[in-house]
Structure 1
Amino acid sequence: MKSLQLHLGIGLFISLIIVFITLWWLGSSSIRYLAEEAVAEHMENDGANILSAISINDGNNVTMDINRMEPVYLEPFSGDYYQVVASEQVIHSPSLVDQNLDIQTLPAGEISKLYVTGPKQQPLLVMVYGYSKMNRNITIAIAQDLTPTLARIAIFQYRYTLISLVLLLLLIAAQVIILRMGFYPLARIQMQIKALEQGEIAQLDTNVPQEVAVLVREFNGLLTVMEQRLQRSRNSLSDLAHALKTPLTILQQLSREEVLQSNPEAWDTLQAQTQNMQKTMERVLKRGRLAGGGSAALKFDIQGEISALIYALQNIYRDKNLSITFSAPETVGLFIDREDMLELVGNLLDNACKWAKSTVAVSLTTNQKIHLVIEDDGPGVSEDDLARLAQRGTRLDETVNGHGLGLSIARVIVEQHGGQLNMGRSNKLGGFFVEILFGKSKIE
Structure 2
Amino acid sequence: MPRPDRRSLKTRLLIWLGGGALVVMAVTWLLHGILLRDLARDFLGDRLREEADYTLEQLRQAPDQRPPLGSSSSLTARVFHHLYVLELDGEITTSHPDWLDALAPLLASNNRALHDVKARGSHLLVYRQAFTLDGHEGVLLVGEGFGRVESGLSRLHWWIGIIAGLILLLLIVLNLLAVRAGLRPIAQLQQQIDELRQGRRSRLQLTVPSELETLVTQLNRFMDAQDGRLQRSRHAVADLSHALKTPLAAVMQAMRGNRPIDASRRAKILTRLEDIQAQLDAELRRSRIAGTDSGQHTRPQRDLSALLDMFRSLYPDKHFDVQAMPDAAVNLAMERQDFMEMAGIVLDNAGKWARHRIAVRAHLDDGLWLEIEDDGPGVPEDRLDRLGERGQRLDQGRPGHGLGLSILIQLLDHYGGRVDFHSPPGEGLRVTIRVPPQDAPIQPGFS
Normalized against structure 1, the TM-score is what?
0.51
Aligned to 2:296: none
Change (3 A) 1:117 1:82: same
Change (3 A) 1:9 1:166: same
Change (3 A) 1:24 1:176: same
Of residues 163-172 and 89-98 in structure 1, the stretch that sits farther from structure 2 once superposed is 89-98
- 1:49 offset after TM fit, Å? 4.9
- 1:85 offset after TM fit, Å? 3.2
Q: Find the aligned partners of 1:2 and 1:142 in 2 and give their Cα distance.
A: 64
Q: Note if 1:195 corresponds to 2:200.
A: no
Q: Find the aligned partners of 2:226 and 2:127 in 1 and give their Cα distance.
A: 84
Q: Note if 1:9 corresponds to 2:14.
A: yes
Q: Is the 8 A contact 1:124 1:146 kept in 2?
A: yes
Q: Find the aligned partners of 2:163 and 2:69 in 1 and give their Cα distance.
A: 48
Q: Find the aligned partners of 2:179 and 2:34 in 1 and give their Cα distance.
A: 34
Please give the per-residue CA displacement for 1:366-419, whole angstroms capped at 9, x wherever unaligned. xxxxxxxxxxxxxxxxxxxxxxxxxxxxxxxxxxxxxxxxxxxxxxxxxxxxxx
Q: Note if 1:146 corresponds to 2:146.
A: yes
Q: Which amino acid aligns with 2:68?
A: D
Alignment of 1:50-89 (within 5 A): 50-52=55-57, 54=59, 63-66=66-69, 80-86=82-88, 88-89=90-91
Q: Note if 1:31 corresponds to 2:36.
A: yes
- 1:206 offset after TM fit, Å? 4.0
Aligned to 2:395: none
Q: Find the aligned partners of 2:150 and 2:75 in 1 and give their Cα distance.
A: 19
* DSSP 3-state at the match of 1:192: helix
Q: Find the aligned partners of 2:241 and 2:73 in 1 and give their Cα distance.
A: 117
* DSSP 3-state at the match of 1:203: coil
- 1:103 offset after TM fit, Å? 1.0
Aligned to 1:123: 123
Aligned to 2:220: 220
Q: Is the 8 A contact 1:80 1:143 kept in 2?
A: yes
Q: Is the 8 A contact 2:70 2:85 kept in 1?
A: no
> 24, 27, 33: which one pairs with 1:19?
24
Q: Is the 8 A contact 2:87 2:107 kept in 1?
A: no
* DSSP 3-state at the match of 2:200: coil
Q: Find the aligned partners of 1:94 and 1:73 in 2 and give their Cα distance.
A: 13
Aligned to 1:112: 113
> 103, 106, 117: which one pairs with 1:103?
106
Aligned to 1:254: 254
Q: Find the aligned partners of 2:57 and 2:123 in 1 and give their Cα distance.
A: 28
Change (3 A) 1:153 1:70: farther
- 1:193 offset after TM fit, Å? 0.8
* DSSP 3-state at the match of 2:87: strand
- 1:242 offset after TM fit, Å? 2.5
Change (3 A) 1:38 1:224: same
> 73, 93, 96: which one pairs with 2:95?
93
Q: Which amino acid aligns with 1:212?
A: L
Change (3 A) 1:83 1:15: same
Alignment of 1:328-367 (within 5 A): none
Change (3 A) 1:197 1:65: same
- 1:115 offset after TM fit, Å? 1.4
Q: Which amino acid aligns with 2:96?
A: P
Of residues 80-89 and 171-180 in structure 1, the stretch that sits farther from structure 2 once superposed is 80-89
Change (3 A) 1:172 1:70: farther
Q: Find the aligned partners of 2:62 and 2:256 in 1 and give their Cα distance.
A: 155
Q: Find the aligned partners of 2:100 and 2:125 in 1 and give their Cα distance.
A: 19
Aligned to 1:165: 165
Q: Which amino acid aligns with 1:103?
A: L
Change (3 A) 1:136 1:153: same
- 1:166 offset after TM fit, Å? 0.4
- 1:45 offset after TM fit, Å? 4.2
Q: Find the aligned partners of 1:156 and 1:86 in 2 and give their Cα distance.
A: 41
- 1:40 offset after TM fit, Å? 2.3
- 1:55 offset after TM fit, Å? 7.5
Please give the per-residue CA displacement for 1:78-119, whole angstroms capped at 9, x wherever unaligned. 994322234644333335365341215566xx730111212x
Identity of aligned residues (%): 23
Q: Is the 8 A contact 1:106 1:130 kept in 2?
A: no
Q: Find the aligned partners of 1:70 and 1:2 in 2 and give their Cα distance.
A: 74
Q: Is the 8 A contact 1:106 1:139 kept in 2?
A: no
Aligned to 1:293: none
Q: Find the aligned partners of 1:100 and 1:159 in 2 and give their Cα distance.
A: 34
Q: Is the 8 A contact 1:56 1:63 kept in 2?
A: no
Change (3 A) 1:72 1:193: farther
* DSSP 3-state at the match of 1:115: strand
Alignment of 1:306-325 (within 5 A): none
* DSSP 3-state at the match of 1:99: helix
Change (3 A) 1:242 1:132: same
Q: Is the 8 A contact 2:70 2:93 kept in 1?
A: no
Change (3 A) 1:165 1:70: farther
Q: Find the aligned partners of 1:68 and 1:85 in 2 and give their Cα distance.
A: 13
Please give the per-residue CA displacement for 1:190-234, whole angstroms capped at 9, x wherever unaligned. 111111111221111142111111110111111111101110011
- 1:255 offset after TM fit, Å? 3.5
Q: Is the 8 A contact 1:13 1:172 kept in 2?
A: yes
Aligned to 1:207: 207
Q: Which amino acid aligns with 2:84?
A: Y
Please give the per-residue CA displacement for 1:137-169, whole angstroms capped at 9, x wherever unaligned. 322122222111111011101111111100110
Q: Is the 8 A contact 2:189 2:204 kept in 1?
A: yes
Q: Find the aligned partners of 1:97 and 1:233 in 2 and give their Cα distance.
A: 103
Please give the per-residue CA displacement for 1:160-195, whole angstroms capped at 9, x wherever unaligned. 111110011001110111011011111111111111
